[in-house]
Amino acid sequence: MAVEEPSPLLADESTFLERCEGRIAYVFRDKALLRSALTHASGAVTRLVSNERLEFLGDAIFGAVVCELLYHRFPTYLEGDLTKIKSIVVSRRTCTRISRALGMEEFLILGKGMITSPSVPPSVLADVFESLVASIYLDGGTQAAREFIERHVEAEIDQAVEGEHGGNFKSLLQQHAQRDHGTTPTYQLVDEKGPDHSKCFKIAAQIGRNRYTPAWGRNKKEAEQHAANNAMSEINGDPPPFPAE
């Protein structure tokens, strides 16, 4: 479980940090960098010693590494295709999922107000992954950060490509709607354009009274996938990857 600062667990800080290093498969030369990466603003003496600055740097490094990976891995993809995949892979939803897979809830240093919450907010988990990227970069250099990122995004890239080219976002949105709202999503045709033999369709996903940003597609099936993608992004606090216009 996450720990509050100060805490009995941190009295043996060396053991605490070593356990975290084992979890992320990287050993720090400068242990203070790891501790900073794990420290949320609520658990810091001042915000300057929290992970906020590391998060800022880690976000940029994460995006750059993913862009290079996609550029080399998909030499036939156009800029628009690469941009859509990148937006999924570097999203806060992905960062949150990776942090959960690593079990980072156990190592977060949180303040009293957050330690009493039943669960760690997704935004905090997303932040700590980006902070870890930056702390590894500062401690071990570009290659160390790249290896850490690659270990955790290969599967995310595969999933993003599958969703973009064949799609599983409707399934994900349905799972969310059934689990959290006890209902199923509906898809509303908002607009269409083009000649009969080559129409494009604009569709919005809706759960209950919540309608999400609509998206265009070359057919209704594709438009529904894009609309579901937009909905999942908005639900997770990310901007919709497909424009409404």
Report how far residue 37's alpha carbon sits from residue 131's, in angstroms, rounded to the nearest whole number.
5
Cα gap 163→88, rounded to integer Å = 10
Q: Which residues are catalytic?
A: 59, 130
How many helices, marked H, and strands, marked E, lie in the chain? 11, 6
**Rounded Cα distance, 227 and 214, in Å:** 5
Distance CA 87, CA 82 (A): 9
Please give the C-alpha separations between residue 94 and each of 4, 98, 164, in angstroms, as whole numbers: 26, 6, 15
* Residue 37: closest CA among 135, 121, 124: 135
